[in-house]
Structure 1
Amino acid sequence: MNPIEPFYIVILFLTGAFTGLVSGLLGVGGGFIMSPIQYWLFQEAGISPDLALRIAFGTSLFVILPNAISGTLKHQRHSAVLWKQAVLIGVSGSIASFGGAAVASYLPAAVLSKIFGVTVILGALKTYTTPAVRAENGISSSTLLYVGAGIVIGFFSGLVGIGGGVLGIPIMLIFLHFDMRKAVGTSAAVMIFTSFGGALGYVINGWGEPGLPPYSLGYVNLLNWLLLAGPGVLAARKGAQIAHVVNPEYLKHFFVFLMVYIGLKMMGVF
């Protein structure tokens, strides 16, 4: 498949729009949506599975960066971003995300896709059992806990090409005692850091790799980035706007359903 074929362009454009909407709505990067679709498209274009998955992960992280900025600005208008906590998680997460991307550069696609699926499903199951609404004064004040959360979120973000929201939101709800809306807004801000660190790791570790498609910087493909990020940035703002008028429990249930579906898909269950 030629990467400039109309079918390829339409699929990525629609994926970018949907991912941006979900990103703004749920505070997740949407890598669990973009990565499987890009993985399939790259293989259809004749790229080996191992290389295709790394490019899908790296490109997804780079797409998440502008989406996260767009969504964060919208959430900030509703005072849903806890900046001190976001910076603590984000700085430690960006360093760990770079490391996760380095590890991913040496693992085969079969291993990475299963890690991706299991990670997403575990996060979904924990989220389902956690209340979406919490008391404002119950939020954790432990700096060490935030830094530890950042390391876990960031490492898996870089390893499996996600912004970190699919892990970050469960961690914020369960261990840091955020309510759903604060978790969504703060998660969007954290992803600015983790997506940057992870994308940089994929660029550096993939630099000079043979067999890369045209318009690639390491494991980041700029053509896919443009087609995904363009509609995604606009849709992320709309998603963030919708998030503040929807019942938090509905947000949580939609989040869990989407995570389980994509997780099973990447594990090859169907």
Structure 2
Amino acid sequence: MFPIEYFIGLILIGICAGFASGLLGVGGGFLIVPLQYFLLKYIGVEPDLAILISFGTSLAIIIPTSLSGAYRHTRTMDNIIKPGIRLGIFGIIGGALGGFSASMLPSRVLEIIFGLLLLFVTVNNIVNINKEKEDAKIPFNWITAGIIGLLVGFSSGLLGVGGGIFLIAILTALLGFSMIEAIATSSIFISLTAIGGFL
């Protein structure tokens, strides 16, 4: 029997993740995974199992929250649908490969990798604060969509995150997307990628 504080914790985590998804174009996994992991450990779940439950649950939550964000964004920007779907097709494959890899690795390795992810998020947000739109450094085509989709999708499945934190940085720094375009495109991408990682 789970204690009542476990269910209260899950509700609060869900609210925070949903808010982050709609506002920032990310799935909220960078919040869901560590918070749920510590919550599961608190109620006595073994770390190896707790980390995998956190990853899987995170990806399951990301699917509906990112779909909700994607729907809102596509109502105001129709130019994001094609790049979002292109990236998402390859993201599903990468997500499935990443999820399989996560199930093979020990929890301590996954904890370290996730810690590095959070460090990347922090540094990236500091570097890109108030950053202006840049010109595209590489063209956006099926080849670049395939490479980016697979790599970001793999990280999504491996770490239980939607991958938006990586994709937004790539879209703005390399492909010349504005921040709002990158956030909106990311919301479509992660709704597809999370399916592969969850499965």
TM-score by length of 1: 0.68
Identity of counterpart residues, as a percentage? Answer: 37
Structure 2 match to 1:158:
157
Identify the residue that residue 87 of structure 1 maps to in structure 2.
Answer: 85
Deviation per residue, 1:183-225 (Å, 9 max, x gap): 111100001111100000xxxxxxxxxxxxxxxxxxxxxxxxx
- Aligned position for 2:24: 26
Name the CA shift for 1:67/1:94 in 2 (closer, same or farther; >3 Å). same
**Matched-pair contact (CA < 8 Å) for 2:98–2:197:** yes
Q: Go from structure 1 to structure 2 and tell me whether the alpha carbon gap of 1:22 and 1:80 turns closer, same or farther (over 3 Å shift).
A: farther
Which runs of 4 or more aligned residues in structure 1 lie more than 4 Å from their structure 2 counterparts after TM superposition?
135-139
Which stretch of structure 1 is more off in the superposition, 172-181 or 52-61? 172-181
Does structure 1 conserve the Cα–Cα contact (< 8 Å) formed by 2:136 and 2:174? no
Aligned equivalent of 1:261: none
Alignment of 1:49-88 (within 5 A): 49-79=47-77, 82-88=80-86
Equivalent position of 1:119 in the other structure? 117
Aligned to 2:97: 99
List gaps (5 residues or longer) in structure 2. none
- Residue 145 of structure 2 is matched in structure 1 by 146
Q: 1:199 to 1:81 in 2, by over 3 A?
A: farther
Task: Quote the Cα distance in structure 2 between the aligned partners of 1:137 and 1:92.
Answer: 21
Measured in 1, the distance between the counterparts of 2:30 and 2:107 equals 15
- Is contact 1:61-1:195 (8 Å) kept? yes
Contact 1:31 1:161 in 2 (8 A): yes
Quote the residue 1:219 is aligned against.
Answer: none
Does the Cα contact within 8 Å between 2:73 and 2:184 map onto a contact in 1? Answer: yes
Q: Displacement, 1:80?
A: 6.6
2:184 maps to what in 1? 185
Aligned residues: 198
Change (3 A) 1:82 1:139: farther
What SS does the corresponding residue of 1:105 show, helix, strand or coil? helix
Name the SS for the 1:47 alignment partner. coil
RMSD between superposed Cα atoms in Å: 2.0
Question: Which piece of structure 1 moves more, 11-20 or 133-142?
Answer: 133-142
For 1:67 and 1:125, the matched residues in 2 are separated by 25
Deviation at 1:19, TM superposition (A): 1.0
1:215-239, Cα deviation, whole Å (9 max, x unpaired): xxxxxxxxxxxxxxxxxxxxxxxxx
1:216 is aligned to none
- Give CA deviations for 1:54-88 in whole Å, capped at 9, x if unaligned: 01000100000000110111111221761111111
CA contact (8 A) 2:74 2:81 kept: no
What residue identity is the alignment partner of 1:57? F
Q: Name the SS for the 1:125 alignment partner.
A: helix
Aligned-pair CA distance for 1:45 = 2.4
Distance verdict in 2 for CA 1:96–1:189, change over 3 Å: same
Q: 2:36 aligns with which of 35, 38, 42?
A: 38
Change (3 A) 1:138 1:182: farther
Summarize the alignment of residues 202-241 of structure 1 with structure 2, pairs less than 5 Å apart. none
Give, in whole Å, the separation in 2 of the partners of 1:113 and 1:16.
21
Following superposition, the deviation at residue 133 of structure 1 comes to: 3.7
Q: Distance in 1 between matches of 2:37 and 2:120?
A: 22
What one-letter code is carried by the residue in structure 2 that aligns with 1:145?
A: T
Q: Which residue of 2 aligns with 1:208?
A: none
Q: Which runs of 5+ in 1 are unaligned?
A: 201-270
Contact 1:43 1:49 in 2 (8 A): yes
- TM-score (normalizing by structure 2): 0.91
Post-superposition CA distance 1:239-266 (Å, at most 9, x none): xxxxxxxxxxxxxxxxxxxxxxxxxxxx
